[in-house]
Structure 1
Amino acid sequence: MDVTHQHRIRRAGLLLSSTIIAAGLGIFSAGPANAVANSEIVPNGQYEFAVKLTMTGIPTADGGRRNSACSGALIAPQWIVTAGHCFRDFNGVRVERPVADLTTATVGRADLTTDIGHVATVIAVRQSPTTDLALAKLSFPIKGIKPLALSRKAPNVGDVLRITGFGSVTSSSPVPSPQLRTGQVTVVAVTAPSVGVTGLAPSPDTSACPYDSGAPYFTEHGKGHPTLVSVESGGPSCPHSLEERTSRVDNIADWIKQIIRG
């Protein structure tokens, strides 16, 4: 977590550095299969564009290593979107490169204990110049999964969005989840860089947690055509019923398309 902003929990979370043996081995402590506080389980086959990012061996300021995780979404066959702060150096500066020894993206696998879907390596990163959002290029194009479309118009206060993420269920001793979970939120504020949301369903305190950084917030139109509105950036300790900050997509959609097209 971002200890410099204790009232705004950075959703990338933080595993202990390799000066502690368990973290050095990449071992996550045991925990329940939860993600997105007070949410619902997503079965395999739904929201296949959802992405779990796993970072192994991130350098620390003391010369050690730590492991971490983020969430994201497939927006083109070889590109995913996530939070910009998921790729930052040990000084907290966002960078345009993978920072870990290995960063993998698991796509199309809601239950991480199964072997469906795809696992690719992140080979490049591009940071948004205006908001906490990054694009990550995969080592190969993902086939058989429809990417999440980008919104081209600003959201309105009162809009209902859905979030999917692989984060913890709580800010207390958080661990990444082996199971994708989902909930709904309501838009309460819109600014140039961000969209503010609060929990709606299944509970008023349905909210993002550590390791949900980069999780997509999207609209649903009937049974098809979900559209990306924003990605998770940060908020209070979860679960909570306060405003969560997310990074807006519609006003940088042209930039995103330029990066994807190369």
Structure 2
Amino acid sequence: MSNGEQNATGRGTSRGDSQGGVQSVDRAITVLEILAREGHAGVSEVAAEIGVHKSTAFRLLAALEERDLVEQNTDRGKYQLAFGILRLASAIPTRIDMARQAQPIMDDLALQFDETINLAVVREHYAVNVQQSRSTAAVASQNWVGQLTPLHATSSGKILLAYMPDEQRDSILDQAGLPKLTENTVTSRKALLDQLAEVRETGLATAFEELEVGLNAAATAVRDHTGEVVGALSASGPAYRYDKARIKSTEEDLKLAGSRISHRMGWLG
């Protein structure tokens, strides 16, 4: 075997050690992600997705199988994740601190948008803000951390309502009602449900002066490792500055930030 050539385990020799080793690790991690996403896959499927020869995919799977990270199931020899993954996962705290995971991403977004960024979760029939980042332009804005806000009148609340089970949502709306807070507050349940259906289609919720006059906001979902929506990431600012056009132009960046937080929470979607 010449210098720089890889051996059967994917390890390089001589000057190829570093490059070959990193590539093998990257491919092995990709294989685990494929199996986590698909549930199971054969050698040919794995090879096609990571762009390698079947023999290379087989060696990767064999190495992972030796470590009890994957195993063959009874479905024509396809591979799936094995109990070794649980052994590794058990070393992680059972509850990942979502606010801590979100903070650096929120800080970056606040600087990018020059607006206030909040992270909210459901508490009883309210949305409660658990983390906040403020830009230089928003230093004098209100501190929303710890504050309870009505679900129907905020962008974060609409995200949380949109993705919760119907029975839970109906119970919350029955209990909390749809009080009118401004002239723009949605007080019709049918109109709100129509909005929530659109939220599920677009992945974005908005609130235009519905909680306070002069305050606009947009929000997107944050998911945990199961794909369940566990929080809402929002950007808010003065209506004269954070208007519909500005929200539209920053929509994809907000969604991307929500996906990045979700990824840090273990979501593979």
Answer whether TM exceeds 0.5 for this pair.
Answer: no
Higher-strand-fraction structure:
1
RCO comparison, higher one (Cα < 8 Å, 6+):
1
Specify the structure having the higher radius of gyration (Cα): 2
TM-score bracket, normalised by the shorter chain, equals: under 0.3
* TM-score between the two structures when normalised by the length of structure 1: 0.27
* TM-score between the two structures when normalised by the length of structure 2: 0.26
